[in-house]
Structure 1
Amino acid sequence: MTGPDVQRTVLPIPDARPRGTVHYDAKNPESSFAPIRPLRPPAGAPNVLVILLDDVGFGAASAFGGPCATPTAERLAADGLRYRRFHTTALCSPSRAALLTGRNHHSVGMGAVADLATSAPGYTSMRPNTAAPLAEILRLNGYSTAQFGKCHEVPTFESSPLGPFDRWPTGSGFEHFYGFLAGETHQYSPALYEDTVPIEPPPDPTYHLTEDLCDRAIAYVRQQKSLMPDKPFFVYLAPGATHAPHQVWPEWSDRYRGRFAQGWDVLREETLQRQRDLGVVPPDAELTARPDEIPAWEDMPEELRPVLEREMEVYAGFLEHVDHHVGRVVDAIENLGCLANTLIIYLVGDNGASAEGQVNGTVNELLTFNGMAALETPQFLADHIDELGGPNAYNHYAVGWAHAMDTPYQWTKQVASHWGGTRNGLIVHWPEGFAARGEVRDQFHHVIDIAPTVLEAAGLPEPGFVHGVMQDPIQGVSMIYSFDGPEAEDRRQTQYFEMMGNRGIYHRGWTACTKHRTPWLTGGMPPFDEDTWELYAPQDWTQAHDLAAEQPDRLRELQRLWLIEATRHQVLPMDDRSVERFVASLAGRPELITGRSQVIFKGMRRLSEGSVIDVKNRSHAVTAEVDLTDQPGSGVIVAQGGAFGGWSLYVLDGRPRYCHNLAGLRRFVVAGTEPIPAGLHQVRMEFTADGSSLGTGGTVGLFIDGRPAGTGRVDATVPMIFSGDETLDVGSDLGTPVSDDYGSVDNAFTGTVNWVQIDVDPQSADHLVDPARRLDVIMARQ
């Protein structure tokens, strides 16, 4: 089915019923039917490769004047187009939901992030069936579809290995998925899924996730063109780079040795000059002032500066590394002879650069997440400088670097009010699609404009019905008019922005905005009505001169327009609450695990932290039924978390052991005194908390069939989060190891673990967790 008579506004396309007389005998010359024709999009529809990098600010990549080499992006831009007024939502999950649906993030329920979902329509985290994703529209029109990398749009209560899978990639139009579901993952030991099944990366000391994802994407396009050369593909490549942890091999980060000794203030000036020379900002674009909340480079402690430099060197190497491997995918498409008719859309970031590394940066962001940032003194950081970027660090750079990576704009990721949070570089490459080469486009566009651009390029209409459901109109506008139209008038005249109360409105060049919350600062937030609004004129490219006091009438008009747009797109009610959004029953969302007891059976693994009953800050017990054929046994019975925080119940030299890993700082080990006999037995660990306090210490008792088998102390415990991506596993410890007593491979229990039961005391100190700190943890993992 490819002809112009195919009706594509109702999907799936209804099967055509044969017409005419049906004969008794197939040998009858008149007994014939039209041949079966496979579904294909309109003739000439291009292959589509959408690349989405993570946490890359406008001023990071060399393709947009930044200090980090991105030769692939430069190559595509030289033969294509750079867009210098392209925008995202200021946060990961919302930008991805908007990209994949062509609708504003609140309109598809992703007003913030899935962890903060409420029952309000704009914040459910549940994409409505009235907004079919781009991949599903393309699949139902005859495209091959695949996603590689990060998927962080699945509601938390649907993210267990049992789904439901309607909002997983394979339920969202992608025929194949290979990647991870969390907001971040360890680049050397990631938590991976293939389609809907958890899998493990190969035990290769040279493994890196970015390389793996690009290898998989290359294999996919080669296979697709080998088996279905007449069928176009839609590949969505979304590496975890450059989201924290910033992890890359030294051969990449060492290229930048000494390149950032001038500090972030001078780096911003250098970057702006390169941006002017490239034409990605106008010659008169001004460098915005550094906010008071961000310290000057000269104010940073002298002894800390080598660490700060190394943080940025690692980040730069990480960005160059991912761009290099994206280039391998582009090369593979070119080698197949398909590059000319492949529409490549390269989004250099899903939001501004991340300022979630705090003022000094961190060698292990889990320390920050657990309220232990004060432990990372300049001396502590200096002692761990050689670990930055490697598998034993979970590092993130300092706020000052994030601000520099958003040059020349104000603010960073999460701050949807200002361009530093929402303006990202965009490159479009399609040799057969337009004649322009190496040009810059000024038209104002937003991430919701990607989906309608792809549909128009493919010659496909926006469907009115998908799977029997009437569709909400796509809110984006196609960008194709601008491909060969450098002077074409903007077709996006208005765009609202909002993220956690940070909000703004663009209308015909003017912007009005107000910052409600600073990402790296905790504490109470003011009432929305007390926020101070700013006003910027069309010729003020960087939002450097606030005209609110001079033109109050215009400001009021734009504020009213923001309110109208917010009402249209389900932004209201705005929600900056903390406590209420963490309690599922108060927020109105389902809760995956309830009660005080959970039984986990043999073979269950890769259970996310949200899929397991919470043992933190309270007394609890872990009981396992094990069948040990031979004695002495060894290996992990059950473990949660990994090398940067967690706990493990395991067997060493035939005796039970318990390890509590305190955010990678210290490992408390309680060793059993009695061996586990051969046969069927119960092994139990009881943790008796010292009291109701965050990170409480306690006494650990080990038991075999109810008989004491060892006791010991744990002086302090992880209070808030074990890991951003590590999981609970029965019968082994997948990912990075909790304990130093075993490695990351060959740690499986030598017998059989039939089941594990976790019981928790109802008395918990969770209520003492600062809601603002918990909010920071959730936002930082996006």
Structure 2
Amino acid sequence: MLKKGLSLISLLVAILGLLPLSMAAQQVDRTVLPIPEPQPPAITELDARNAKAPPRFEVKAPKDAPNVVIVLLDDIGFGQPSAFGGPARMPTFDKLAAGGLRYNGFHTTALCSPTRMALLTGRNHHVTNTGAIMELATAFPGNTGIRPQSVAPLAEMLRLNGYSTAAFGKYHETPAWEVSVSGPFDRWPTHSGFDKFYGFIGGETNQWAPAIFDGTVRVEHPPDPDYHFTVDMTNQAVAWMQAQHSLTPDKPFFVYFATGALHAPHHVPKSYIERYKGEFDEGWDVLREKTFARQKQMGVIPQNAELTRRPKEIPSWDSQTPEQKKLEARQMETFAGFAEHTDEQIGRLVDALQEMGEMDNTLFIYIAGDNGASAEGGPEGAYNEIMALNGIISDAKINMPHLDAWGDPSTFPHYAIGWAWGGDTPFQWTKQIASHYGGTTNGMVIHWPAHIKAKGEVRSQFTYVTDIAPTVMEAAGLPFPKSVNGTVQLPFDGTSMIYTFDNANAKETHTTQYFEMFGNRGIYHDGWVACTRHSIPWLDAPNPPLSQDVWELYHVADDFSEARDLAAQNPAKLKELQALFMKEAEKNHVLPIDDRRFERFVPAMAGRPDLMAGRSSLTVYPGMVGMTENAFINVKNRPYTITAPVELPDANTNGVIIAQAGAFGGWTLYMKDGKVHHEYNYFGVERTNIVGPAPLSAGKHEIKYEFIPDAPKPGAGGRSVLYIDGQQVAEGHIPKTQPFIFSGDEGADVGMDGETAVSNDYKQGDNKFTGKILKITINTKPSGLSAADQKAVEDAEDEAAAIVD
């Protein structure tokens, strides 16, 4: 039975001369994309009855080209999934591994955006200008955040070769300053090779209340009290695949299924958390020992591998208090439940492919993690991980009140660094630390029954995330395109992994690979690794000069886990590899190395474009919602006013006038029962609410809010003042403010407060303003300040600039 290319009926009709043969039956050059349309022949016959039509030009994929499904989980370490000896039970991953191949030498970049860009293009992350996450782009080549035209994505190559293409879930590859209704949309998913996109654009999202885009349009999630984003994106993906198969069964499809899980916030139904109750009471030190033993028993690591020691920067389980242990055990129960829940949704993808009869010829690549497990939750974890992103360490006093609710919609949680280290067993270190395998090694399974005959075997060749695109192209029978959309293409940096499918002992083809993230750097070459850990994600401390970093040397061909440092024994080899790193760094635009973290959140300091650059005033209008933090005027660490002329229908007006972010940090100006309120929500931990004394009458009014910082440093508190029709009606004091970021996903909304609610005074999904808003102006250089206030403002701005410089 012909499943791809021409159907039997079409072929017979074509033979009879009644239907022109498609391009699939012609010899075509696929090295230039789009494939050029042939010039039609000159026809001199007057009557169509006496003429024969030329072959129809139609781009089709090669005969029997497989469907391609790439699943990418977020922030899960090598030693966490059950398929690689971990404690999180993931039966779909296990099933695919049993029917396919496990790769225990697969590596990522150590951070999300860079890994994803490398995966989707087949080029090194600095070549794609993604040296770090999109929100930390700088002015230097290798870090600009702008994918070059010479780096066409895999999805575009497949689409132009006759594939249907779709992306679901997390897409963290669009420059932050381009995420607005003004675009440009060149680097959005639907302009990067994907016909369909349903998901979120930033680095993370609230699984219970996500900020979703359908294509380039913001949409609200379905009104389901049991809503969860991973379930929603799976529903969307299954429906899309079924529609493709129904309408165009002979056309292969490419699905990029990138979950927001298991990135914080760790959100999962409580029933999944309860499945792991008590399983982590022994702590992360014991977890590593048990995981390590299972890994050897399963054969996913060599028998001579050694379990690396705990770094001094990571606390032992025994050093934790009983209260800390109780909280931290719950954190890991939540994470494991989150993993199982996520894998269950991927199982629905597999079930759908099987029901359609497409699983046999589907190249299914399941990657457990875009980097090592995340230690961004701090030493004790965080009830609200946005605090950690602001450099604020949570402790038991903040976390313990949320113990029983951990993982539900009232929390935005992350686990303690010890669990991340435990999750990267048997390696050292964690996410962001690109120098060591704990930050870069992720378990991967490849399943393709039509072409992979081995079942349940392990492959140990060094492989890297840039190898995915070349593997897919070879599997589809497609050549690398010399030119795409008129631009000559830079070659793939990766190599196809198909050579490993039938031969466990095949000589590896990816023999050299550099690593770099925030100064943590290393080089792999022919079984050796030279590396240096320069910085630690959770420590807000000055880094040493790059020139003084201490390098380590590992012979990973014999030392799987990087347990034996040979730098002192083999200085010549170390020097050789250090020189090779510099050569690769120069070639791939890694230099100059930038080890800044929080400072790069400030566009002026980082040197990247800023939608609000040079502007001290922004006027917005009703209907403008979901404005991301990078596309909205910055009101952090500076004075500002909000002025809103409104028309009220009566003296009982309700709803939000303007709000930024949500329940886990932000601010809102709203009305309740006719009274005007302003609330500042400090990470959901402290709230400052000021309110006018009386309901406003029907008719026109001018509502104005003013904030004046009272200390010259980021995160300082300040005066909070409310005016109605030019008269001050309320004043309060905000003790402290969020210094660097409000939210990773929630934006600013006019006339409502989307996703989660900043204030408990109104409900999520039911807070639209019942009056009329004419416009709203936010001004960060307000006039009319007293001389003392103006001096305080100038001092605060100067000091803030000095701190982040």
Report the counterpart of residue 509 of structure 2 in structure 1.
491
Report the counterpart of residue 667 of structure 2 in structure 1.
647
TM-score for the superposition, normalised by structure 1: 0.96
Q: Check whether the contact 2:381–2:414 (CA below 8 A) recurs between aligned residues.
A: yes
User: Once the 2 structures are TM-superposed, how far is the Cα of residue 53 of structure 1 from its aligned partner?
Assistant: 0.2
The amino acid across from 2:724 in the alignment is I
Query: Tell me, what secondary structure is at the counterpart of 1:339?
Result: coil
User: Once the 2 structures are TM-superposed, how far is the Cα of residue 158 of structure 1 from its aligned partner?
Assistant: 1.1
1:22 corresponds to 2:44: yes
Query: Tell me, what secondary structure is at the counterpart of 1:6?
Result: coil
**Pairs within 5 Å for 1:383-782:** 383-537=401-555, 538-577=557-596, 581-594=600-613, 595-761=615-781, 763=794, 765=796, 768=799
Write the deviation string for residues 506-544 of structure 1: whole angstroms up to 9, x where unpaired. 111111111111111111111112111111112011110
Q: Check whether the contact 1:617–1:764 (CA below 8 A) recurs between aligned residues.
A: no
User: Once the 2 structures are TM-superposed, how far is the Cα of residue 24 of structure 1 from its aligned partner?
Assistant: 2.6
Write the deviation string for residues 125-149 of structure 1: whole angstroms up to 9, x where unpaired. 1110001000000000110000001
User: Once the 2 structures are TM-superposed, how far is the Cα of residue 554 of structure 1 from its aligned partner?
Assistant: 0.9
Write the deviation string for residues 196-240 of structure 1: whole angstroms up to 9, x where unpaired. 011111232200011111111001100111111110000000000
The amino acid across from 2:727 in the alignment is R
User: Once the 2 structures are TM-superposed, how far is the Cα of residue 492 of structure 1 from its aligned partner?
Assistant: 1.0
Q: Which moved more, 1:40-49 or 1:358-367?
A: 358-367
1:91 corresponds to 2:111: yes
Q: Check whether the contact 1:4–1:42 (CA below 8 A) recurs between aligned residues.
A: no
Write the deviation string for residues 9-45 of structure 1: whole angstroms up to 9, x where unpaired. 1111111222143323323x1x231353532110010
Write the deviation string for residues 82-138 of structure 1: whole angstroms up to 9, x where unpaired. 011000000000000000000000111011122221222111111100010000000
Task: Provide the rounded CA distance (Å) in 2 between the counterparts of 1:579 and 1:201.
Answer: 32
User: Once the 2 structures are TM-superposed, how far is the Cα of residue 619 of structure 1 from its aligned partner?
Assistant: 2.2
User: Once the 2 structures are TM-superposed, how far is the Cα of residue 556 of structure 1 from its aligned partner?
Assistant: 0.6
Task: Provide the rounded CA distance (Å) in 1 between the counterparts of 2:398 and 2:539.
Answer: 22
Task: Provide the rounded CA distance (Å) in 2 between the counterparts of 1:378 and 1:541.
Answer: 37
Q: Check whether the contact 1:46–1:341 (CA below 8 A) recurs between aligned residues.
A: yes
1:155 to 165, 175, 178: 175
Write the deviation string for residues 657-707 of structure 1: whole angstroms up to 9, x where unpaired. 111111101221111124333334322112233343433333333233323
Q: Check whether the contact 2:185–2:191 (CA below 8 A) recurs between aligned residues.
A: yes
Q: Check whether the contact 2:139–2:606 (CA below 8 A) recurs between aligned residues.
A: yes
Task: Provide the rounded CA distance (Å) in 2 between the counterparts of 1:434 and 1:573.
Answer: 43
Task: Provide the rounded CA distance (Å) in 1 between the counterparts of 2:333 and 2:81.
Answer: 13
1:205 corresponds to 2:225: yes
Report the counterpart of residue 134 of structure 1 in structure 2.
154
The amino acid across from 1:23 in the alignment is E
Q: Which moved more, 1:3-12 or 1:449-458?
A: 3-12
Q: Check whether the contact 1:46–1:457 (CA below 8 A) recurs between aligned residues.
A: yes
Q: Which moved more, 1:187-196 or 1:517-526?
A: 517-526
Q: Which moved more, 1:17-26 or 1:71-80?
A: 17-26
How many percent of aligned residue pairs carry the same amino acid?
52
Q: CA 1:691/1:507 → structure 2, altered by over 3 Å: closer, same or farther?
A: closer
Report the counterpart of residue 163 of structure 2 in structure 1.
143
Task: Provide the rounded CA distance (Å) in 1 between the counterparts of 2:633 and 2:39.
Answer: 53
Q: Check whether the contact 2:314–2:418 (CA below 8 A) recurs between aligned residues.
A: yes
Q: Which moved more, 1:15-24 or 1:352-361?
A: 15-24
Task: Provide the rounded CA distance (Å) in 1 between the counterparts of 2:794 and 2:239.
Answer: 52
User: Once the 2 structures are TM-superposed, how far is the Cα of residue 764 of structure 1 from its aligned partner?
Assistant: 6.8
Q: Check whether the contact 1:10–1:464 (CA below 8 A) recurs between aligned residues.
A: yes
Task: Provide the rounded CA distance (Å) in 1 between the counterparts of 2:38 and 2:409.
Answer: 56
Task: Provide the rounded CA distance (Å) in 1 between the counterparts of 2:195 and 2:107.
Answer: 28
Q: Which moved more, 1:239-248 or 1:668-677?
A: 668-677
1:268 to 288, 294, 316: 288
Report the counterpart of residue 10 of structure 1 in structure 2.
32
Q: Check whether the contact 1:579–1:771 (CA below 8 A) recurs between aligned residues.
A: no
Task: Provide the rounded CA distance (Å) in 2 between the counterparts of 1:385 and 1:743.
Answer: 24
Task: Provide the rounded CA distance (Å) in 2 between the counterparts of 1:420 and 1:411.
Answer: 5
Q: Which moved more, 1:291-300 or 1:110-119?
A: 110-119
Q: Which moved more, 1:513-522 or 1:622-631?
A: 622-631
2:96 to 76, 81, 99: 76
Write the deviation string for residues 452-498 of structure 1: whole angstroms up to 9, x where unpaired. 00000000110001111111111110001111111211111111111
Report the counterpart of residue 118 of structure 1 in structure 2.
138
Report the counterpart of residue 780 of structure 1 in structure 2.
none
Q: CA 1:237/1:716 → structure 2, altered by over 3 Å: closer, same or farther?
A: same
Task: Provide the rounded CA distance (Å) in 2 between the counterparts of 1:131 and 1:255.
Answer: 45
2:396 to 371, 378, 392: 378
User: Once the 2 structures are TM-superposed, how far is the Cα of residue 588 of structure 1 from its aligned partner?
Assistant: 3.4
The amino acid across from 1:763 in the alignment is E
Task: Provide the rounded CA distance (Å) in 2 between the counterparts of 1:758 and 1:586.
Answer: 23
Task: Provide the rounded CA distance (Å) in 2 between the counterparts of 1:104 and 1:627.
Answer: 55
Q: CA 1:764/1:613 → structure 2, altered by over 3 Å: closer, same or farther?
A: farther
Task: Provide the rounded CA distance (Å) in 2 between the counterparts of 1:362 and 1:711.
Answer: 32
Task: Provide the rounded CA distance (Å) in 1 between the counterparts of 2:797 and 2:437.
Answer: 37
The amino acid across from 1:9 in the alignment is T
Q: Which consecutive residues of structure 2, in runs of 5 or more, have no partner in the other structure?
A: 1-22, 782-792
**Pairs within 5 Å for 1:7-406:** 7-27=29-49, 29=50, 31-373=51-393, 376-406=394-424
Q: Check whether the contact 2:709–2:796 (CA below 8 A) recurs between aligned residues.
A: no
Query: Tell me, what secondary structure is at the counterpart of 1:610?
Result: helix
The amino acid across from 1:198 in the alignment is R
Please provide the CA RMSD for this pair: 1.8
Query: Tell me, what secondary structure is at the counterpart of 2:466?
Result: helix
Q: Check whether the contact 1:674–1:709 (CA below 8 A) recurs between aligned residues.
A: no
Task: Provide the rounded CA distance (Å) in 2 between the counterparts of 1:451 and 1:697.
Answer: 49
Write the deviation string for residues 131-171 of structure 1: whole angstroms up to 9, x where unpaired. 10000000001100000010111112211222111111011
Task: Provide the rounded CA distance (Å) in 2 between the counterparts of 1:710 and 1:530.
Answer: 55
The amino acid across from 1:247 in the alignment is H
User: Once the 2 structures are TM-superposed, how far is the Cα of residue 579 of structure 1 from its aligned partner?
Assistant: 7.9
Q: Which consecutive residues of structure 1, in runs of 5 or more, have no partner in the other structure?
A: 776-782
Q: Which moved more, 1:511-520 or 1:235-244?
A: 511-520
Query: Tell me, what secondary structure is at the counterpart of 2:475?
Result: helix
The amino acid across from 1:440 in the alignment is V
Task: Provide the rounded CA distance (Å) in 2 between the counterparts of 1:454 and 1:580.
Answer: 38
Write the deviation string for residues 394-439 of structure 1: whole angstroms up to 9, x where unpaired. 1111111000000000110011111100011010000112211111
Q: CA 1:182/1:66 → structure 2, altered by over 3 Å: closer, same or farther?
A: same
TM-score for the superposition, normalised by structure 2: 0.93
Report the counterpart of residue 778 of structure 1 in structure 2.
none
Q: CA 1:764/1:719 → structure 2, altered by over 3 Å: closer, same or farther?
A: farther
User: Once the 2 structures are TM-superposed, how far is the Cα of residue 300 of structure 1 from its aligned partner?
Assistant: 1.2
Q: Check whether the contact 2:383–2:398 (CA below 8 A) recurs between aligned residues.
A: no
Q: Check whether the contact 2:382–2:395 (CA below 8 A) recurs between aligned residues.
A: no
Task: Provide the rounded CA distance (Å) in 1 between the counterparts of 2:219 and 2:677.
Answer: 27
Q: CA 1:566/1:476 → structure 2, altered by over 3 Å: closer, same or farther?
A: same
Task: Provide the rounded CA distance (Å) in 2 between the counterparts of 1:586 and 1:364.
Answer: 27
Q: Which moved more, 1:308-317 or 1:592-601?
A: 592-601
